[in-house]
Structure 1
Amino acid sequence: MFCCPEPLIFLLLAAAAASRRPCGPLGLSQDTVLGRPGANITLRCWDEGPGNVTVSWRAEERGRSQRLPAGNALPLHRLRHEDAGTYSCFVGSHRLRSLRLLVQEPPETPRVSCYRRSHDHDVLCEWPLRAKPSPGTRAMLWVKQRFTAENTTEQRCRFFSKARKFVCRVKVPHGADDTKPFLVSTCVSNGAGGAAGEDKIITLNGVLRPDPPLNVTVTALEKAPQRLRVNWSYPSSWDHRFYWLRFQVRYRPEPAQTFSEVDQVTTTWLDIHDAWRGLRHVVQVRAQEEFGHGAWSEWSREAVGTPWTDPRDLTSEMGFFSSQLPMEDGTYGFTLPPELFAEDGVDGTGGPIMEASARSTASPYAFLVAGGSLLLGIALCIGIVLRYRQLWRMGGWQGAKPEGEGQHVLVPLGSPSPPLSDTPLLSPHCSPAPGGLHVTSLDYFFSGQ
């Protein structure tokens, strides 16, 4: 931005003030009466006239006529803006005089700011107003090159009611020096008075202020839960074929209110590396001339985006979900809480979950194998007992046969034992009965000797 030594600026402003055009109220005609809002005034048809003549008044505004009280003097109290208009007095049907009433306040003092959207645009100077200006208010702007009156250009400013501000356009000649200083003066006037703005010294480079960047988008990067890609484009008013911009990006996770900023971005994209996992982020971008001339643009519209999220991480947000095991009867077993399926494999107490998970799924099968083995062993034992019981009965039947079959009768435990001389040590050999089991010397096993 152009800078001047303080003594030089003082001399330049003094010279400009000496050559400044007067900024006073607009000239009022003889039949115009000015009134301030809220004031009381009196309109007179004539200063001296016959007192026995009846004078009537009529207000004419926007094509409509209204009769007023009769009399040479017409008092009006607490004026409003709606009271402005033309008032005529009559004697009979003869018009004697018409007066124009203006209800106005002196204009606001302009506080001008100038900017230029790009190197190939004109300079715009504007200032806002607190209230709508009175009808007939005029705003002018003068630009003096080299601080001489001969090169002064005058521009009429236009009022925009929707934005409630005056805007003046300063034509920039082709090939003008961007570092050359200009003096800008403003004046706003109406029937109630005039107000001059403070003179400003500007340069074409110093008033550069681009429009905000367009088409700002925020997208997630796959398998990068802490990264976001921000893209945008140059404003349409800036020709990036010859002049470049640098950008500043700011972002924040919701609902935080503090922004993080990234400066000196020369591309139209940026990767954010420290985004918060799973949170939506608000991103804005603004621009400035590449060498730092002028001011930053306004921030762009807010764009939002959320980093990529691993689908497996969503299980923690689904509450208790089905991890039941099918049973033999068609029903389902217990349901495990989602803490056992956390991403890092550690439960809330710090213990590993992988083993607990494995136990919970493997234990039923182990129980089935163990139970099956136990049942098989019990079945085998029962089969052996039944088999030997059957053989035992068959052995009893063999002992009841007549002598000569090679079997001795089993003696009950309660009966006395026969003498040893009457009991042979060995039984005579004989062929076993068909289908039976030949057992020799069973007395040896059951006699207790």
Structure 2
Amino acid sequence: MSCCLQPLIFLLFAAAAAPRQPCGPLGLSHDTVLGRPGANITLRCWDEGPGNVTVSWRVEEWGRSQRLPAGNALPLHRLRHEDAGTYSCFVGSHRLRSLRLLVQEPPETPRVSCYRRSHDHDVLCEWPLRAKPSPGTRAMLWVKQRFTAENATEQRCRFFSKSQKFVCRVKVPRGADDIKPLLVSTCVSNGAGSAAGEDKIITLNGVLRPDPPLNVTVTALEKAPQRLRVNWSYPSSWDHRFYWLRFQVRYRPEPARTFSEVDQVTTTWLDIHDAWRGLQHVVQVRAQEEFGHGAWSEWSREAVGAPWTDPKDLNSEMGFFSSQFPMEDGTYGLTLPPELFVEDGADGTGGPIMEASARSTASPYTFLVAGGSLLLGIALCIGIVLRYRQLWWMDGWRGAKPEGEGQHVLVPLGSPSPPPSDTPLLSSPCSPASGGLHVTSLDYFFSGQ
């Protein structure tokens, strides 16, 4: 066992003892003079010489030549980067000496971040700068496998003035292990000094950061006033035939500042179910590797869209006014047009606008209940009329004369008193032949006979 551990221990110690990549200022030649921005400096043609000789100076910078005041010493005050160039002194037409002036300051310490746009791309390491670097500044990057004694791969970095950053490209060989740790070192140097960045340990999977999704669109769904359909596409740098992405969508109604987010979206579309009626919504999408390796991409460009609106309820030419309020069941109320919230119209009357809106927002169930009540009342009236008609018909039939009786009936002048046994205890208040409705007949009406 000890024999097997010895080579491993040796490699670990060798990696720990491996010297850091050299990071020092660029070497300056004997005829180069360094000056800091804002400092004062004096250039001399010679240290000792005849004092009665007229010395003239000329500077060559950015491809042009300019004469300067004469004299053995040439003072320069408050140096600027534009003062850098080659200064030559002459006696007559004879050149005596040439000095190269560099106006530089030590470089900024790099703070490197590395990312990989997809599994098929190289690793890019970059760092931003607060100010443009001095001319002649050099940036280098070294990459090697961690815990090994092999030599590091050296990469030269380029400065991009538009984005104000240095960018280094690290070539990834085919078949490289995505989880093997790599050690990244950086160094920036110029004639005024050098600065080394902090070593970073990365893995190919850990630095994955896709580009933002493309072609984000927001469309309304017909007859769905609280839904929106969001569509997008994969970034062109990501090959979705072999590797997938997962997405995160955020949205907000204007002019709100707080976003709602939906995570773990694996498709390239999403339906929003809680959109605000009649309002424009701002939507953005970002992406990450499907298994969560690496970092999220930047958010996509903002896309704007509004839910579907019924043309019968809202006048699209007059704009929208949201009056949604959360109800007890979690839904939202109606979105009303702005005409309902003004007291007077252009003609001084607001009644017709309110009346039209009331008709448009009335529920159909109100008409059903009113119609049913009306039909029930009509049926009851018809039933009562039929019942009275039957009663009137029966009373008329009872008071009619029977057929076969004589037409001339002798009526006695005085009616004899009926015997006590034939006299009713309660007499009828009126004759039943009158054809009217008797009070004593109500029992019959309600009895159903």
TM-score by length of 1: 0.69
Relative to structure 2, which stretch is displaced further, 325-334 or 340-349? Answer: 325-334
The Cα shift of 1:428 comes to 48
Mapped partners of 1:447, 1:198: distance in 2: 107
The Cα shift of 1:335 comes to 23
C-alpha contact (below 8 Å) 1:114/1:124 kept by paired residues: yes
C-alpha contact (below 8 Å) 1:341/1:353 kept by paired residues: no
The Cα shift of 1:389 comes to 40
> Over residues 303-323 of structure 1, what are the superposed CA-to-partner deviations in whole Å (9 max), with x where a residue is unaligned?
111111111211598699999
Find the structure with the greater CA-based Rg: 1
1:257 is matched with: 257
C-alpha contact (below 8 Å) 1:137/1:189 kept by paired residues: yes
C-alpha contact (below 8 Å) 1:399/1:410 kept by paired residues: no
Mapped partners of 1:16, 1:357: distance in 2: 81
The Cα shift of 1:144 comes to 1.0
**RMSD after superposition:** 13.4
The Cα shift of 1:48 comes to 1.9
Question: What is the aligned residue count?
Answer: 449
Local SS of the residue matching 1:313: coil
The Cα shift of 1:200 comes to 0.3
The Cα shift of 1:84 comes to 0.6
C-alpha contact (below 8 Å) 2:343/2:350 kept by paired residues: no
> Over residues 404-440 of structure 1, what are the superposed CA-to-partner deviations in whole Å (9 max), with x where a residue is unaligned?
9999999999999999999999999999999999999
Relative to structure 2, which stretch is displaced further, 249-258 or 409-418? Answer: 409-418
Mapped partners of 1:205, 1:414: distance in 2: 132
Summarize the Cα distance change of 1:278–1:19 in structure 2 as closer, same or farther, 3 Å threshold. Answer: same
Summarize the Cα distance change of 1:232–1:95 in structure 2 as closer, same or farther, 3 Å threshold. Answer: same
Mapped partners of 2:447, 2:15: distance in 1: 150
Summarize the Cα distance change of 1:182–1:410 in structure 2 as closer, same or farther, 3 Å threshold. Answer: same
> Over residues 247-275 of structure 1, what are the superposed CA-to-partner deviations in whole Å (9 max), with x where a residue is unaligned?
00000000000000000001111110000
Relative to structure 2, which stretch is displaced further, 57-66 or 384-393? Answer: 384-393
> Over residues 84-124 of structure 1, what are the superposed CA-to-partner deviations in whole Å (9 max), with x where a residue is unaligned?
10111111211110000000011111110000001111000
Mapped partners of 1:40, 1:410: distance in 2: 160
Relative to structure 2, which stretch is displaced further, 319-328 or 80-89? Answer: 319-328
Mapped partners of 2:359, 2:92: distance in 1: 115
The Cα shift of 1:51 comes to 2.4
C-alpha contact (below 8 Å) 1:427/1:441 kept by paired residues: no
Relative to structure 2, which stretch is displaced further, 425-434 or 204-213? Answer: 425-434
Mapped partners of 2:212, 2:374: distance in 1: 81
Relative to structure 2, which stretch is displaced further, 434-443 or 208-217? Answer: 434-443
Mapped partners of 1:177, 1:342: distance in 2: 69
Summarize the Cα distance change of 1:261–1:88 in structure 2 as closer, same or farther, 3 Å threshold. Answer: same
C-alpha contact (below 8 Å) 1:40/1:78 kept by paired residues: yes
Local SS of the residue matching 2:225: coil
Local SS of the residue matching 1:441: helix
> Over residues 184-228 of structure 1, what are the superposed CA-to-partner deviations in whole Å (9 max), with x where a residue is unaligned?
000111111111111100000000000000111111111111111
Mapped partners of 2:262, 2:429: distance in 1: 113
Summarize the Cα distance change of 1:94–1:285 in structure 2 as closer, same or farther, 3 Å threshold. Answer: same
Runs of 4+ in 1 over 4 A off after TM superposition: 1-18, 315-449
Summarize the Cα distance change of 1:6–1:306 in structure 2 as closer, same or farther, 3 Å threshold. Answer: farther
Gaps of 5+ in 2: none
Relative to structure 2, which stretch is displaced further, 94-103 or 369-378? Answer: 369-378
Summarize the Cα distance change of 1:195–1:321 in structure 2 as closer, same or farther, 3 Å threshold. Answer: closer
Summarize the Cα distance change of 1:275–1:11 in structure 2 as closer, same or farther, 3 Å threshold. Answer: farther
Summarize the Cα distance change of 1:77–1:432 in structure 2 as closer, same or farther, 3 Å threshold. Answer: closer
> Over residues 296-339 of structure 1, what are the superposed CA-to-partner deviations in whole Å (9 max), with x where a residue is unaligned?
00000111111111112115986999999999999999999999
C-alpha contact (below 8 Å) 1:252/1:258 kept by paired residues: yes
Mapped partners of 2:127, 2:366: distance in 1: 85
Mapped partners of 1:119, 1:157: distance in 2: 22
C-alpha contact (below 8 Å) 2:15/2:149 kept by paired residues: no
TM-score by length of 2: 0.69
Relative to structure 2, which stretch is displaced further, 111-120 or 362-371? Answer: 362-371
Summarize the Cα distance change of 1:386–1:321 in structure 2 as closer, same or farther, 3 Å threshold. Answer: farther
C-alpha contact (below 8 Å) 1:340/1:347 kept by paired residues: no
The Cα shift of 1:395 comes to 44
Summarize the Cα distance change of 1:344–1:145 in structure 2 as closer, same or farther, 3 Å threshold. Answer: farther
Mapped partners of 1:332, 1:292: distance in 2: 36
The Cα shift of 1:50 comes to 2.2
